[in-house]
Chains A and B, each alone.
Chain A
Amino acid sequence: MFFLPENKPKLIKGIAFAVSLITFGISLFILNEFQPGNFHFQLMEHYYWIPSLGISYQMGIDGISLWMVILTTFLGVVSVALSKYETRRLRIFFALLLLLETSLIGTFLALDLVLFYSFFELLLFPMAFLIWIWGDENRKLAATRFFIYLFGGSILMLVGMVILAHQTKLATGHISFSILDIQAAAANGTLWKGAFPLEQFVFWTLAIAFLIKSPSFPFHTWLVDSYTQAPIGAVLLGALIKTGVYGLIRFCLPLFPEVQAQATPIILTLAVIGILYGAILAAVQTDVKKVIAFSSVSHVGFIILGVFSASQIGLMGGVLGGFFHGVASGLLITLIALICMRRGSRNITAFGGLKAQMPIFATLFLVALIAAIGLPGTNGFISEFLSLLGAFQSGYAQIGGVSVVFAIIATTGVIFAVIYMLLLMQKMFYGPDDNPKIQALRDLHPWEIAIGVAFSILIFVGGVIPSVFTRTMEASVIATNLMAQSGVGDRPAWKYFGESADPPVEPDASNANAALISSKHTSKKIFGREVVTLNR
């Protein structure tokens, strides 16, 4: 991008858009190539980088990362499209934006801890610079806070990762940063043999880094600032925070099976506080972007609740939630960013009566809103329902340190979501529209409508036929849950792709599938939609 002439904004924007579109196309191609029903990593690439340290360039995709990648590339397209409105220093803006997208995809695909960490850190500085240069009035504070929070969280993770590699050396005799090797050692119980305090320590170094990124209460302040101050093209922030959830699922669950029961209550407490705290604060904000930011904190609470609910259903809810919330909040952020830019203010009192002035905008906003409250028929419902269901189940069964109390309190968060979202809707779209500035507003451009409609389709497809998504996630989710919850010997282990030319269904995987089949033979019809539930 640096080589493009600065004085041709259309060319720069065009190329950036083409690149992001091609990337999105490739990710859809991967979706096509992907074989569901197999929890091992697929389409793997593996090159040795630093053999003496066990560091390699290792990439692969499974049912969990697949949708994260698609989310990233999709939001990447939207991001570049929205950045049509940027006018200053375009070359570097789009270079940073695409760099951000690259590092996000890399984060989701990396199977080597050092490689993962590299991408994980690499996304900090393009985002920090995007906020710093193109952000709103408080951008310097926001950018610094963003960087320090996230860097601070992840540097301790580095210590944890080196300990992981070291433990792998003790367990298997050769040092390795590959999560396949580490997980294999964790699965047969040799990784943490007699080192429980160390396992706890490493778990928390990783968990804190990911909780900050997610962001979970009490580490959410950076997100509020970043959402508020970020430039319009920063819809990718929605994908960025998913790296936190992804990290929790990918590392904190499978690699530390023994810690789960003790850590779960603490993390769930934070998640539940986050749900309520985010929802309540969202209801009292006067800045519309802050409403969205706090609602994200609340939704992330649901996702984490699902991930750590110690049940397959809940984990599925968490994984789905990661993708669905990315879509729903993506639409919300997009719309809010568009309207705030046009109105030139983020204050909620500056709006009112928008419905008459911008009917299409209001319709799209309504879609985003019902998805955010989790109304049945939208994707938000499916993921939150599954998360809560998983938490209730584990709570009743007293497994994995989950208590029913968490689920009950978390459920009330749904009510708060209705309150703050409807308040927002009411204040922005109804009421007197005698403000001349509101009357000067025009409705969305066709291309903006197209983006909104694309989001809406994803929202409703996710709500009505979630099996489109769950089909590919299923095997990975089940395997991850087994890795975290079952005892030594029952834990499945990832295999290197290519160890057997045609990857057959591994014994563990077929067991897992059998378990799923036996467990889902009651499919309840709830609100006219099929929901997979366990037979209790």
Chain B
Amino acid sequence: MFQFTPPQVDIISLLPVIIIAVTGALGLLLEIFNPHTNNKSIAILSGFGIVIAALFTVFGMDSTVTTTYGDLLLRDGFGSVVCLILLLVALLTVFFSEAYLREKEIPYGEFYPLMLWSTAGAMIMVTTYNFLMIFIGLEVLSISLYVLSGLSRSEEKSEESAIKYFLLGAFSSGFLLYGIAFFFGGTSSLSLESLSTLSFLTIGTGSTSHTLVLTGIGLILVGLCFKSSMVPFHQWTPDVYQGAPTNVTAFMSATSKVAALTVFSRVLVASHAFEASYLPVLFCVAILTMVVGNFAALAQKDVKRILAYSSISHSGYILVAILAQPYGVSPDHSTLLYYLLSYSVMIVGSFAALTALIHKGQEDTSLASLNGLWKRNPINAFCLLILMLSLVGLPPFSGFFAKVLIFKDALGAGLLPLAIVLALTSIVSAAYYLRIAYSAFVSEPEGVQLESKNPLGAQVTCILAAAGVLLMSVFLSPITQFFNR
């Protein structure tokens, strides 16, 4: 007799995602009734929704791992903290988007709902063990991002960015799905949990197949490498980051990377038994990503492209953190989480500072256009300086401690070569980050200068980010304790 037992439902787990999605829908309704006149109400509504969702996430935080909806959703400390990071990114983006979109003359209200749904997708992605859920979350995240990167409809660059992102994104989704199919074929399960119970001894016997599972994991990792722009799957990143509107770039550089790398970490932790098969490959990928990302950034003339390549190199650093994190019964994710948080704040803050370059729909993000930002926009310039120093990894900012934590983990895991490559490539990164800081601070402006304009939102975001990187290093202990709770 077939018996259907309704799954246990734990509404708290899903509530933040529901709130975000519903807020998005409400925002869209608001846009219909209030077209093109005032998007401020949508922005405020979105911010409100994000804060409530964050409150529920904190409320639902639990160190014990619980699954619900028939094991489709998962509630654990790791996932909850990542959700908080994602919500923080969304909130920061809301702060500075309105003024920017208005000045770029694309004041479409859709931006907020799309951004919220994208966040909801990312949140689903990081709170599940189930591969299908991961895939659904990834698609929700990505499809919204494809639309967002083409938001500036009249601009060729933005169109190009959207098409490129869409084609390559679809391609990578294909890889991921193909990998999931192999995985299912090998284990007759879609859950990562089934993977962690396997080991080399049990695999290959009974219904499981060694080759299928390994091929599946490999393809899944390739798909995730695409999303988190690891070398050699990074080519789309600079073009997309440059072409997309700056606030979208800020959002996507943090959100899609945080989500993809979290899943990356989950997959690696679960498939720890097969470490020997994939470690050499990932070792090479990490080194390549750090080296290519940093050296390619040196040759760039456009700030957004520099930051795109820098975000590639940060993917490499984070991959080192993932490979080095202490595995075992209760894996300690605090290094990874600290780095993700620190990276998100730095990158969103940096792009927010760059929104000062927009003027009446014209946006020039070359290095030269940054010249003299200090005079036009002192707060943005000063915060940009701090964020650049933090991205380089200079103390006393959080970027430094994030790297120290990685070094510590890497030594503990016996990955000294990766730590050395990380250190050496950081030297290279100093050259291009400082070029940005120098341009903003030192170089005298050439040619026609934009008039000074200081939208409050961007300044607030910059100040929050700059203060954030400082406070994160002062309160490192409480933060890591919070992560481990």
Contact = CB atoms under 8 A, between A and B. Distances in A.
A132 B442 contact: yes
Given A118-B396, A122-B394, A159 B408 contact: no
Given A155-B426, A162-B407, A166-B412, A129 B395 contact: no
B423 interface: yes
Contact of B396 (A122, A151, A165): A122
B205 interface: no
A144 B389 contact: no
Interface stretch (B228-236, B306-314, B427-435): B427-435
Contacts of B476: 49-50, 53
Interface string B294-316: 00000000000000000000000
Contacts of B454: none
B411 A166 contact: yes
A125 to B, nearest CB: 7
A51 B477 contact: yes
A159 B395 contact: no
B130 interface: no
A50 B426 CA distance: 24
Interface string B468-485: 000000001100110000
Contact of A158 (B407, B412, B442, B477): B407
A53 B478 CA distance: 12
Interface string B390-430: 00111110001101110110011000100110011011001
A431 interface: no
Interface residues of B, number: 32
A370 to B, nearest CB: 40
Contacts of B405: 53
Contacts of A122: 394-396
Contacts of A140: 438
A148 B441 contact: no
Contacts of A129: 441-442
A129 B431 CA distance: 14
A317 to B, nearest CB: 33
A101 B403 CA distance: 26
A121 B404 contact: no
B424 A156 contact: yes
Given A50-B477, A165-B408, A147 B434 contact: yes
Q: Identify whether the interface residues of B are mostly helix, strand, loop, or mixed.
A: helix
A52 interface: yes
Contacts of A50: 401, 476-477
B394 to A, nearest CB: 5
A133 B442 contact: yes
Interface centre among A124, A132, A147, A158 (most CB of B within 10 A): A158
B203 to A, nearest CB: 34
A121 to B, nearest CB: 5
B410 to A, nearest CB: 9
A156 B404 contact: no
A159 B477 contact: no
Interface centre among A117, A124, A144, A151 (most CB of B within 10 A): A151
A114 interface: yes
Contact of B389 (A52, A125, A166): A125
Nearest to B420: A159
Contacts of A133: 441-442
A144 B427 contact: no
Contacts of A49: 476-477
A148 B481 CA distance: 35
A152 interface: yes
A156 B420 contact: yes
A21 interface: no
Nearest to B392: A151
Contacts of A143: 438
Contacts of A159: 407, 416, 419-420, 423
A163 interface: yes
Contacts of B480: 52
B427 A151 contact: yes
B395 A162 contact: no
A356 to B, nearest CB: 42
Contacts of A128: 434
A91 B420 CA distance: 39
Interface string A121-156: 110110011001100000010011001100110011
B411 A162 contact: yes
Interface centre among B412, B419, B427 (most CB of A within 10 A): B427
A159 B416 CA distance: 9
A57 to B, nearest CB: 10
A132 B444 CA distance: 12
Nearest to B437: A125
Nearest to B385: A125
Contacts of A125: 389, 394
A159 B441 CA distance: 31
A444 B481 CA distance: 61
A162 B408 contact: yes
A124 B395 CA distance: 11
A151 B407 contact: no
Nearest to B435: A144
Contacts of B389: 125
A415 B389 CA distance: 45
B341 to A, nearest CB: 16
A154 to B, nearest CB: 9
Given A129-B442, A147-B434, A155 B396 contact: no
Contact of A121 (B394, B411, B416, B481): B394
5 contacts: A114-B404, A132-B442, A158-B403, A158-B423, A166-B408
* Leading 5 A-B pairs by shortest Cβ distance: A118-B395, A162-B407, A152-B427, A155-B423, A50-B477
Given A50-B401, A155-B424, 14 more contacts: A49-B477, A51-B477, A52-B481, A114-B395, A121-B400, A129-B441, A132-B442, A133-B441, A143-B438, A148-B427, A148-B431, A159-B407, A162-B419, A163-B411
Interface of A: 49-53, 114, 117-118, 121-122, 124-125, 128-129, 132-133, 140, 143-144, 147-148, 151-152, 155-156, 158-159, 162-163, 165-166
